[in-house]
Amino acid sequence: MSNIKEIYKKKIVPITFERTVGLFGATTIGVGALMGAGVYVLIGLAADIAGPSVWLSYAICGGLAFLTAFLFAELARKVPASGGAYGYVYSTLGSLEGFITGWFLALGSVFACGLYAIGFAEYFASVLGYEFPAYGIKLIAIILVLASTSLNTRGTKSGEKVQKILTWGNVFILVLLIACSVFTINIDNLTPMYPKGLSGTGAAIAIIYISFFGFQLIANNSDEIKKPTETVPKAMILSLSISLLLYILITLTSILVIPWEELASSNAPLLLVATKSLGSFGWILISVGALIASAGALNSTLLSQGRQIFAMGKNQFLPTILGKIHEARKTPQAALYAGGILIIIVLIFLDLEFIAKSANFCLLVSMLPASLALRKIYKTEPEKRPKLFLKRLLPEISLFVNIGLLFTLDWVSLTFGFQLFIIGGLVYFFYSRKREVRGKVGMNLVLSSSKKMLNVGKKMRILVPVANPSTLKAICTVSNSILSQYGGELVTLSVVKTSDQIDFYAALAEADYSLDIIQKTSNIKVDSNVQITPVIRASKDIPQGIVHAAEEEGCDLIVMGYEGKNSQKTASIINEMLYHANTNVVFLKFRNLETTFPPKKIAISVGSSLNLDLILKLGNSLSGYFGGEITFLTISPTNASNEQKKHGQKLLYNIKTYQKNQKSKFEIISSDNALDTLVEKSAEFDLLIVGTSKVKLLERAVVGHFSTQLAERASCSIAVVRTVTTAKKLIKSVY
């Protein structure tokens, strides 16, 4: 095993993003996401509904978008959190609201990326002049997603350079088209302004409002932006201002150059404008513009989406690997790859219209908790309220606007959105919630140089909390005997207690004693098919830290030393194991280690079938590994009823059948005081294994429970076994 202290020195310093993105770079992200291929297509659809007043529809929609932009700008200034809307809501409203925001924002970004990729593929096919089948279009889209994902995993700087070329190249093409079209405008095209009434102008907003999503993605990258509390708000407002101005100008130009009826009947309205203004060169210009706009929007959204998934992984809502940063490239590689895979799945299984509607729903819903977050800040922290009364109403106004826009969607979108909400709820309550709680109160630092792979075949993992050097070797040896037959992993754990005021990394940086004792575990001899994985955990509560470490490392069993005294420390540990451990536990109370370990003479107290499977596994593992013999002790009341006798006989028969190939003896002892009898018999053995009684009884451990009294009074070492039923494991996995 590699030197643990060297691994510790490497891992104790958290890997963070590099702040390399300035105001221009942040604005580029926003403009890139805002100015996608939609501008090349949606103008015609919107003109069909609004007529010449379509430019006014864009202006109104942009004004509504500014409400959300101001909302996000306020949150960025007042909430120092990464992860964009998710981070703001999570820090302000809490776990559930934060998850809902992150869930829909991540899904919305996935659907939006799928939309951009399809847009690129369709324009690419038209440029080639070849009619691709549906699967061919999707294949081109998938190749683009793979290329963009690969680019962004290589580093922020390389992705940022490409993004600037794509974004401002698209802006240049649009500005060039506007400038060249000045000479072909016809003012008469604006009349009548409202051929379909003012309602048509308003209805067009439902088509184009997706064009104004994107500025909020800037906040997702706040960990890489210089002076984020200043830069992020400025970049949001600046990117939306640039995009809105371009939208209005390009829409107005299109209407003035080409009658709205012709625009409405075209799948490529800007191509008509460019051809009339620039001739054959216009076709090339618009084709290139649409391609780089689609690629830029995809790249910008995918870049930000990776940071969104990373933030949720960091907070344990998603698998831990998604919250990791690549050490050399300083990018959230796993999160980016996960996002890329999801986009590809969407492209394969969903059609374009469904992808677009899903993106609309998810992105709108993700905005709602952000309004509530700012409302809470204004309500609970009066000093942060703006002086201007209208500005204080920003949360309520933006909430009302986004809810109104949400209900412009058709029932198919709303139904599918509700299904996504249900799926998200299941993920939260059955997976994310408990993981997030663990992440808030503690953190594991795995001191192993080997990367954890998928546990194919589900080999057993045993957690061994270590604190006492005198019993360390014995506990690890017992655990090794259990694992030796089939192989598995021995996870040694030292818990460092911390507080709310101390960062987990800071607490672990001062964990000299824990590091020393964990270092000793690496020198313990184990079988070749058993791997030792040392772990140090910072936790606000030591017993809780043991339970959480077992869950986080996916352990099947906890084997730990037991002080065996009526102390508060003992009580807290036992109670935590009883009520919260989702793992089977073996408590070991050692006596006379020099003469009784390894145990050759092993006794098992048999009273019921409770815990029996693990008791037999432990006993047989020890006797087989050390060449010992097992004696089964059954205490029968002197006046046992027929029912009691039948139960005892059946239990012994089942044990004998199970033990037919094992070296075992059986003793039936008649006694009305089982505790005193076992204490007396313990002098004949090296180890006595007993099971706990029902959970409610064990809560009296420190004041007289059978197992704890036996552990204190016995002459030999004691192993107290407690198992968790499948039903309880399922319940505890949620609560």
pLDDT of residue 212: 84
Would the pLDDT of 2 be above 80? no
Contact partners, residue 170, CB within 8 Å, separation at least 6: 32, 35, 289, 292, 293, 296
Q: Which residues of 525-538 are buried (b: 16+ CB within 10 A; e: fewer)?
A: ebeeebbbbbbbbb
CA angle 262, 266, 269 (to 5 degrees): 85
Asked which of 128-132, 257-261, 346-350, 441-445 is least confident by mean pLDDT, the reply is 128-132
Q: What is the DSSP letter of 209?
A: G
Would the pLDDT of 698 be above 50? no
CA distances to 462, 463, 467, 658, 710 from 495, rounded to whole Å, are 16, 12, 8, 38, 28
Per-residue pLDDT reduced to its tens digit, 565-610: 555 666 667 767 766 788 899 989 888 888 778 899 999 998 777 8
- For 469-480, what is the mean pLDDT? 90
pTM above 0.85, yes or no: no
- Which residue ranges does the chain devote to CATH 1.20.1740.10? 19-362
- Which residue, 523, 540, 544, is CA-closest to 532? 523
pLDDT of residue 570: 65
Asked which of 5-9, 102-106, 275-279, 479-483 is least confident by mean pLDDT, the reply is 5-9
- For 194-217, what is the mean pLDDT? 84
Evaluate whether the domain defined by 562-735 bears CATH number 3.40.50.2300. Answer: no
Would the pLDDT of 392 be above 50? yes
Evaluate whether the domain defined by 19-362 bears CATH number 1.20.1740.10. Answer: yes
- Which residue, 60, 282, 330, is CA-closest to 184? 282
pLDDT band at 564 (very low <50, low <70, confident <90, very high): low
pLDDT of residue 376: 92
Per-residue pLDDT reduced to its tens digit, 606-638: 877 788 889 999 999 999 899 889 999 888 888
Angle between helices 23-34 and 156-181 (to 10 degrees): 60
Residue 170 CA to residue 213 CA, distance in Å, equals 17
Per-residue pLDDT reduced to its tens digit, 398-421: 899 888 888 878 788 888 889 999
Amino acid at 402: N
Would the pLDDT of 700 be above 70? no
Residue 560 CA to residue 587 CA, distance in Å, equals 5
Kindly report the average pLDDT of the chain as a whole number: 86
CA distances to 119, 256, 445 from 123, rounded to whole Å, are 6, 25, 49
pLDDT band at 453 (very low <50, low <70, confident <90, very high): very low
Cis amide linkage into residue 192, ω under 30° from 0: yes
- Helix ranges (DSSP H) in 584-694: 593-596, 612-626, 642-658, 674-681
pLDDT of residue 694: 53
CATH topology of domain 410-560: Rossmann fold (3.40.50)
pLDDT of residue 735: 57
pLDDT band at 703 (very low <50, low <70, confident <90, very high): very low
Per-residue pLDDT reduced to its tens digit, 143-201: 999 999 999 888 777 778 888 999 999 999 999 999 999 889 989 888 888 888 888 88
Asked which of 529-538, 668-677, 703-712 is least confident by mean pLDDT, the reply is 703-712
